[in-house]
């Protein structure tokens, strides 16, 4: 089978022919139809996450995939060959950027039926992180106000839709054509971060979802109400600043979880949510797609397809 491989940190990803794996106890073999690129894939390749996710080389990158079950491992129950699934593998294992991938059944979920299977590959990490931040790290509710930074990013685009569906008032930062995109996704208000200072326009916000970090995160404390929540997917928040502003702050470290992914799949069908896709590229054009992901300029998800 064909698979993307890297032989060390900072090594260029290469398309190779490798042996198709065989599922063992508790695993299924998935025929991968598409896989989603994430910022994490770039950080893993660079070695930035070695402390948390040490890799063994050669390594097949990719955690987010959509496809159908090709083969069941011994003692696997509740799944059948041909089931259409989405999954997020353990980052230390990877394996999504290949024609076939081994996935533990604990990390599987039925794919939503309201979006094309290939687009569903963009769901696991981005939607899962947004869900974890808004509904597990805090409990965003109707009539609350949430500020979502980088609303056209993978996490931001799902966060806007989730927040809108629970009846929250949604403010999103974006720029250029992204301002219209976030409005179409459900933002009640958009702020052009290149031309406007959000700290001069906002106050009393209940929740800030920071996907950028740095100066953006530090300035976000000022717009929160006392008792509000800042949640960051980019870097651990400054607890001293949080205390000074009388708010709580937390770092959202997304973990693979098939049960959460099943809830996401159901929510996407129930509320007719969409996967914001920046581009779709065949596996043969992986290098270009990977560089685009590394640039940080993708609006939505980059999807890699197989056949």
Q: Which pLDDT tens digit goes with each residue over 199-210?
A: 999 999 999 999
Q: Which range marks the domain in which residue 194 is found?
A: 125-251
Per the structure, how many domains does the chain have? 2
> Closest by alpha carbon to 96, among 267, 283, 269?
283
Q: Are residues 103 and 129 in the same domain?
A: no
Unique residue bearing structure tokens 């508790």: 26
Q: Are residues 202 and 180 in the same domain?
A: yes
Residue 35 falls inside a structural domain:
yes
Residue 141 falls inside a structural domain:
yes
Low-confidence ranges of the chain (pLDDT < 70): none
What's 219's domain CATH number?
Answer: 3.40.50.720
Query: What pLDDT score does 307 carry?
Result: 76
Model confidence over 51-81: pLDDT tens digits?
A: 999 999 999 999 999 999 999 999 999 999 9
pTM above the 0.85 mark? yes
Residue 262 falls inside a structural domain:
no
Cα 247 from Cα 205, distance rounded (Å) = 11
Cα 287 from Cα 166, distance rounded (Å) = 39
Could you tell me whether strands 145-148 and 205-210 are parallel, antiparallel, or unpaired per DSSP bridges? Answer: parallel
Q: Are residues 129 and 117 in the same domain?
A: no
CB 55 within 8 A of CB 44: yes
Query: What pLDDT score does 140 carry?
Result: 98
| Sequence-separated (6 or more) residues with CB below 8 Å from residue 51 | none
Structure tokens at 110: 């039925």
285 SS3 class: helix
- State CA 167 to chain mean position distance: 22
């Amino acid at each position: 089978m064909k698979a993307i491989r890297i032989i060390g940190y900072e090594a260029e990803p290469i398309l190779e022919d490798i042996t198709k794996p065989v599922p063992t106890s508790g695993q299924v073999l998935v025929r991968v139809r598409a896989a989603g690129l994430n910022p994490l894939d770039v950080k893993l390749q660079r070695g930035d996450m070695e402390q948390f996710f040490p890799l063994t080389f050669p390594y097949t990158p990719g955690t987010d995939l959509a496809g159908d079950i090709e083969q069941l491992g011994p003692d696997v129950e509740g799944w059948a060959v041909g089931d259409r699934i989405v999954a997020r593998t353990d980052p230390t294992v990877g394996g999504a950027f290949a024609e076939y991938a081994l996935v533990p059944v604990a990390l599987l979920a039925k794919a939503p039926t309201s979006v094309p299977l290939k687009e569903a590959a963009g769901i696991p990490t981005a939607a899962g992180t947004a869900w974890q931040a808004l509904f597990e790290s805090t409990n965003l509710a109707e009539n609350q106000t949430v500020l979502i930074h980088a609303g056209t990013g993978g996490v931001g685009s799902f966060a806007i839709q989730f927040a809108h569906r629970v009846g929250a008032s949604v403010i999103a930062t974006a720029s250029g054509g992204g301002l219209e995109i976030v409005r179409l996704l459900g933002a009640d208000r958009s702020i052009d971060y290149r031309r406007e200072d959000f700290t001069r326009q906002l106050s009393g916000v209940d929740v800030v979802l920071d996907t950028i970090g740095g100066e953006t995160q530090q300035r976000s404390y000022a717009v929160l109400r006392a008792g509000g929540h800042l949640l960051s997917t980019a870097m651990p928040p400054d607890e001293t600043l949080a205390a000074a502003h009388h708010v709580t702050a937390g770092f959202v470290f997304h973990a693979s979880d098939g049960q959460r992914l099943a809830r996401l799949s159901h929510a996407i069908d129930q509320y007719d949510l969409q996967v914001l896709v920046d581009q779709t590229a065949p596996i043969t054009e992986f290098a270009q797609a990977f560089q685009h992901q590394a640039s940080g300029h993708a609006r939505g998800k980059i999807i890699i397809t197989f056949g």
